[in-house]
Structure formats: structure tokens, C-alpha cells
Structure 1
Amino acid sequence: MNDLLRDTLNKRLDKKQSIFMPIPAIVGNDAHVINVPNRANYIYVRISGVTTQIYNKKAVSLDMSVWVGKTPSEPNFLQVLGEIPSRPRYNEDNVTAYRNPPHRESHTYPNDDWSPIQSRQIMPLRVTATGGMVVRIYKNIVKTVDGFDLFDTQTLDLSGYRSLENYGVYAKYILLEISGSGIISVVDGVDVSFADLDYSDIPSPTSGAQAIATVRIWSGQLELVETKIWSDVKDLRFSGSNGGTANQKQNSRVLGNDVTIADTENLIVSEYFDLADYALTLEGDAVLEII
């Protein structure tokens, strides 16, 4: 053997890699459990009827047939390499058939890849901007004074609550609520300086109504904004905000009206309550509470 051939063979042998032949396995243990408790990214598999723990970063499902082995980049431990195909490589159109196996459980709490959600992802009675000054309210079954009823999806144009003058100078919150009759209504807010607007300016719901959202409206606004950075629509479905019982009236601002509180009724108002030059009458055991 000449020196050139010897050097060539030695270089080849220096680069050789040990090959670990893949082993077939079944996902899950005998108790139908996949994920190993307190050991992230490890699952149970059965190899020739014996249960063991294997590292995994693939989408798997219970009783799936998989290959277990080592990779050149991670040669020091066994892991799931992939699914053992249980159907032909090609579909009926002779095109390569790719398949992401069922893995719903991996995205449910408390599994490793569970997906947290925000309240805005829950659709019933969700208020969302659809373009211009229009919002859509999605359907749900609601409680009314007559029992339960279906509130169907509808749209609502809020352009009438916007001032077209003094562009960007003033802003307010309006409240969208569902009345005890299952009807959407709007409680108008009061314009304040855009810079001074905060959540304390959100109107309170009327008696017997459920607040579902508040919408920021500003002077000269042409379109409601709803992005990942900012949304003019704020969700109130889970705020616990409602108009109280039938014998309670809530109003954050009572401006320029004669008000009579009937016997046994309560009127709950905020510090913005203003009845200058108007009459306030309390009858019998009626109560005025300023909060």
C-alpha cells in the first residue's frame, strides 16, 4: 500500500461516524400516560413491551408508532426521531403526503405546550371593530327578565357618538351593554381632553344591564383601531360590571335633568353627579349614595 492510499484511508477512518440503528416504539405507558411528570420534554414509550422514558420534541399522540434513536447532532441520548408511517408515502394524486399527527392534548393545560388565551379570544358577546366606526357583537345565549334567549350576532355603527370638530382634541368612552330584555344599547360618555381620558371616565351600566365592552371615541375619528399594540375596544364581559338589582339605579353622570327617586329605590352616583339648577326629589325611604 503506497503512502498516498494509506493517508487517504486514514483520513476517511478519522471521520467515520458510529451509526445507531433506530428502534421502533409505541408512545405512552400502560396507564395511557404520555408526558413524564416533572421531567420536561420527556415522554413514556414502550419498546418491546417495556416502558421507558425518552426525550421528545416531536408532535406525538397516544399509541403512535415512532422511531427512537440518536442523531449526529445529539449523539449522547435517545430521542423520538419521527413517526413510523402508517399510510402510503404518496396520496392518490401521487403527491408526497405530509401529516402532522393529532396532538391536541399537548396544547391543553397542564401539558408542556399548552396555549394561554386572553379574554378577547373568547367569542360569545365579543365586541370587535370591523371597519370604519362599526363594531360586531357576536352571538350568545343571554339571561333576560323573561328567562334565557339567543342574542344573535349583529353590527352597530358608532359614528353618531363621534364629534367631527376639533380633530384629536377631545375623547370619551362609551359603554356597550345588554339590557334585561336582551337588547344592545349604548351609554354615552362625556368628552374630556384626549390626554386626560382614563378608565374612570367609563360610564356605568344602567339598571339591570350587563356591560360587555367600552369603546374609546375621539373627535374627528374615522376608524376604530384594534391591533396588538392598541385597541379602542376594551373587553368588560368579565369585569363583573352590571347595573345592579331592579331597585337600584346607577349613573356616573346625571347632567341637566330633574331626578325623582321613588320609594325604596337607591340612586348610586359618582363624584361627577351634577344637578345644578335642577330638582332632586327623594320619596319615602329612597336613598342617594354618592361614591
Structure 2
Amino acid sequence: MTLKIDKPFLFAAVFALMTVSAVRAQEMHRHDSSEELGQVNFPVSCSAAAQKQFNRAVAWLHSFEYEAAEKAFTEVTITDPKCGMAYWGIAMSHYHPLWAPPTLAELQKGSSAVEKAKVAGARTQRERDYIAAIEAFYKASDKLDHKARTFAYSNAMDQLYQRHPSDNEAGVFYALTLIATGMMANDKSYAREKQAAQILNRVLAREPKHPGVAHYLIHAYDYPAAAGRAELCEDRARVGPSAAHAFTHFYALGFVAGSDPVKSRCRGRGEGLCNQKPSIRCF
């Protein structure tokens, strides 16, 4: 069923979506190598060839295309076996912050990737901080539940972002942890989601084509009080078919009750994704 809410949403999310051509549904489509993923600039101390692959892999990660991300990060390890951050990316690919908790197999793969990242090494303190942060999620998974480890990872990313405030990727990934922990906290003030939105909007001003910013802003404003200035589904045709992920949120939030072609398209995509991916948080 759908949650009936007055047509609200924030203009920033609309703007972000219109500047990024590839905010997509989670694994709904197959993508060819030429498809635009947005622009990611995540500097790491790996080879030049690996750096280009790494940025693309992170873009997949921000799009919640976790299988594609894992494959892309694995390719980075082949290009540069000493690129410890490639294994960080594999570990990140097995943790889906807004989806269902990882399975035992995913936890084992993620933990193994963390160990490989540590063995491969990281040449900078910033990279070591990233590896340590995701390790906080996988560490002691036999003793700590998913919620405790999610908050531990969020706290680690908070510290990382404080140490590296000019690192846009740190801000974007930290914002995602705030959204994830906000969902778990059941805080009706939505303090974490609001903090996430503030961070994302700052990054948006610097990186308007960043795929994670557009994507996560939708999630950050995924609550009734985030009233905005647009009737989103009626404007979705302007965004184009690559904004499929947005349709699932409009469907979930009840913005697609009408019968016109664009709203029908929204509703169809939302229903399809919720049925296809039961691990996705659908209303």
C-alpha cells in the first residue's frame, strides 16, 4: 500500500536530480559501459589507471548498484593489487545501509575484504581512516547486532569527516550513515536526516553532478515534514528515464495516486522495484 502524504518534497532534491542524469533504480536495469553515472572524484594513492576505475566503482556504490560496484572494485584490485582502497570498496559493496542487514555470507565477504585492505596497505592516513571506519561495521559481528554496528560505523565516519572536512566523499558517506541511523532511531524530529541534508547540500554546491548527493537527498527528505515547493511526479518527465530510483520514492510516499501517464509511470516503477527487491525499504 502507499502512505498518503500531501505532495511535499524539497526543491534541492529536484534540482539535484535534474543535474544528475543517472540516479537509477536498484539493479532494475542492465547498464552498458558508456552509460553516464555522474561525476565522482575520490582521490586514492593507487595507479592512474586504477584511479579512473575506482571513481567509476564508487559511482556504482552511490547508485546502490552493489553487485556492479563489487565487480568494478575487483577490477581495480587486478589493475593495482597494492590498492588497499579497492578492497575497502569491496567491503562497502557488501554493506547496504538502507536495505536489509547483510547475510552471514555478506558479513564474511565484507570482513575478508577489510582484512585484505589492511594487508594491501594504504599510503595515507585518510585512506587508513576509511578502512578503519568500515571495519567498525564488520568487527565483532558475532557479538554485536546490526544496529550497534551501524551506529559504530556512523560514529567512525563522523570522526573521519571531522579529521578531513574538505573531503567531499567523507561528507557524502557520513550523510548516508546519518540517514541509516535516523531510520533506526525512530526520532520524529528527524535530526539525523536534517544533518545529512545540510552536509549533502554543501557538497551539492561544489559537486552538482555527484550521483550520491542527488540520490541521498531523496532519502534524507523521505519524511512527511520535509515540505517542498514542487509536485514531483508531475515534473518527472523532464528528468528522463534514468531517474528511475526517484519514482520508487514517489510511489512509496503516495505522490502517484493520479491516473495521468507520468504518474502511472511513477507508480509502475515503484511497484515493480518493491516487488523485485524485498530487501528494499518500501511502504
Normalised to the residue count of structure 2, the TM-score between the two structures is 0.18
- Which structure ranks higher in relative contact order (CA pairs < 8 Å, sequence separation ≥ 6)? 2
Normalised to the residue count of structure 1, the TM-score between the two structures is 0.18
Higher helix share: 2
Higher strand share: 1
